[in-house]
Amino acid sequence: MQIPGYRLQSKIGRGGMANVYLAVQESFDRPVAIKVMNPALAADPTFSQRFIREAKMMAQLSHPHIVPVFDIGSHGDLHYMSMEHIVGGTLKQRLRDGLEDDDIQRITAEIAAALDYTGEQDIIHRDIKPDNIMFRGDGSAVLMDFGIARPMQGDEAMTQLGTIVGTPKYMSPEQHRGKGVDSRADLYSLGVVLFEMLTGRAPYTGEDAMSIGIKHISEPIPLLPGDKKRWQPLVRKLMAKDPEQRFQRGSEVVVALKSLSAVAAPSAAGTTPTPAPAAAKFVDGNSAEVKLESRMRCKEIKEKAGLLSSVYVFDIYVMADDFNQFQGHFEKISQELFAWGKERGKKCGKVKFKATVHPWIAGRVKEYLRNIRKADTHEFLTRIPIEVNLVGADGKPIEQYRIEPDSA
């Protein structure tokens, strides 16, 4: 393969649309990465237009944390663009060894700054993920691969409303729904990347894109490990389900990161850390002012069913601040119900279930009740009513309903 003005040396990357080669740009005698579209795709105008659009879009961007494009062109049936050769590998590679908090904070701030800039240019990347974040020799992070980026306005977009584009593990809820997106979708994806840098795993996984998408849309954000707890408000605000509750632009993320540290630098004596100032706090769109402690109580109540007979009611009360806390009570509730059903048999009258929770996990609580009724070990629950009372952290009712026994 020959491209005038370049000496191709070796292949350094490949993708579905293009291969990337290390080359020397002869006019400047400098190493570059040259991205060459797969010739087999060039015959399809859709792919050619997409490649050229990406090249032109990237060539117009000028930011220290976005890979610069030096040249675009075509030779025969080859479309190509040359860009800075980034030598430090990808974030995906660095995740294998784990990252220090200082590095995580710096990487997040640098990519947030890049997204603030692309947002100002009305460009959405739509595929923020560890594979598309690379590092220069000095360690600075660089955003790569605008192959599925598109302008937020105008007729240049090559995907239409209703088309799902991106990598499922990192896509925002609105992307999974196939809805219109703006630059806040990229900030959500940055939140997912941040969660992965902090924990070594993605917040949501599944067997296929649909199952992952459902979790992004409906599941609460998982809790970080105890030693990463100070990052939770930042992750929650980045990954708020509602774009209106997220950071609205990357510069807000940068400001929040600067004030994140739980402690300032050690004192001159080097012994006593100083708490961070109160001004470091910011509003978390997924959290509530009222915090709920985790608790669970089960008890049996004997009720008269007639002059000479009695039935029994199993009364459950749960309080949880998030779904992980509620999930922690699953096994105990399941065991208690199983033992009760085995002991009382036909004298099981009904179950009363009350939970004080935040509204955004109410749906998951209801799902738990539906699932436990389906379990073979708890088949007796299908023969008795379950009265459900869900109450918010502020004491206001969320929902009250009754699950009737299945018909014989």
Q: Any catalytic annotation for residue 127?
A: yes
CATH (domain of 79):
3.30.200.20
Residue 30 C-beta-side C-alpha neighbours within 13 Å: 11
Residue pointed to by tokens 């595929």: 127
One domain, residues 145 and 80:
no
In a domain, 387, yes or no: yes
Tell me, yes or no, if the pTM score tops 0.75.
no
One domain, residues 242 and 135:
yes
In a domain, 367, yes or no: yes
Residue type, 229: K
Blockwise average pLDDT, block size 10, the chain, 408 residues: 91 82 93 87 76 80 91 86 92 94 96 94 91 94 74 37 67 88 95 97 91 90 88 94 93 91 44 42 49 86 78 93 84 91 93 90 87 88 94 85 86
**78-84 and 150-151: which strand pairing?**
unpaired
pLDDT at position 364 is 85
In a domain, 160, yes or no: no
d(CA 389, CA 71): 64
One domain, residues 141 and 251:
yes
One domain, residues 141 and 60:
no
One domain, residues 342 and 383:
yes
Tokens found for residue 35:
């991205």
Residue pointed to by tokens 């985790």: 294
Contact partners, residue 246, CB within 8 Å, separation at least 6: 184, 187, 188, 191, 237, 238, 239, 240, 285
CA of 161: how far to CAs of 176, 212, 302, in Å? 12, 20, 57
In a domain, 408, yes or no: no
pLDDT at position 268 is 41
Three-class secondary structure of residue 217 per DSSP: helix
In a domain, 309, yes or no: yes
CA of 361: how far to CAs of 107, 268, 286, in Å? 31, 46, 11
CATH (domain of 239):
1.10.510.10
Phi, psi of 190 (to 5 degrees): -65, -35
One domain, residues 331 and 219:
no
pLDDT at position 279 is 38
One domain, residues 132 and 265:
yes
Longest dimension (CA), the chain: 101
Phi, psi of 369 (to 5 degrees): -65, -40
The domain total for the chain is: 3
Residue 100 C-beta-side C-alpha neighbours within 13 Å: 3
Tokens found for residue 22:
């290390």
Q: DSSP readout, 344-392? A: HGGGEEEEEEEEE--GGGHHHHHHHHHHHHHSGGGGGGGGS-EEEEEE-
Residue type, 150: R
In a domain, 285, yes or no: no
In a domain, 97, yes or no: yes
In a domain, 364, yes or no: yes
One domain, residues 146 and 243:
yes
Tokens found for residue 244:
């209106």
Domain boundary among 280, 315, 344: 280
d(CA 33, CA 55): 13
Instruction: Please calculate the CA angle 400-402-407 and round it to the nearest 5 degrees.
Output: 165
Tokens found for residue 147:
């192959």
One domain, residues 64 and 134:
no
One domain, residues 210 and 264:
yes
Domain boundary among 256, 280, 304: 280
One domain, residues 171 and 225:
yes
Domain boundary among 245, 280, 315: 280
Contact 66, 118 (CB under 8 A): yes
Candidates 116, 127, 145, 186; catalytic one: 127
One domain, residues 204 and 179:
yes
Tokens found for residue 70:
């030096």
pLDDT at position 266 is 46
Tokens found for residue 144:
């790569």
Residue pointed to by tokens 């560890």: 130
pLDDT at position 50 is 77
CA of 192: how far to CAs of 110, 231, 275, 327, 378, in Å? 16, 13, 28, 22, 37
Per the structure, the complete domain to which residue 61 belongs is given by: 6-84
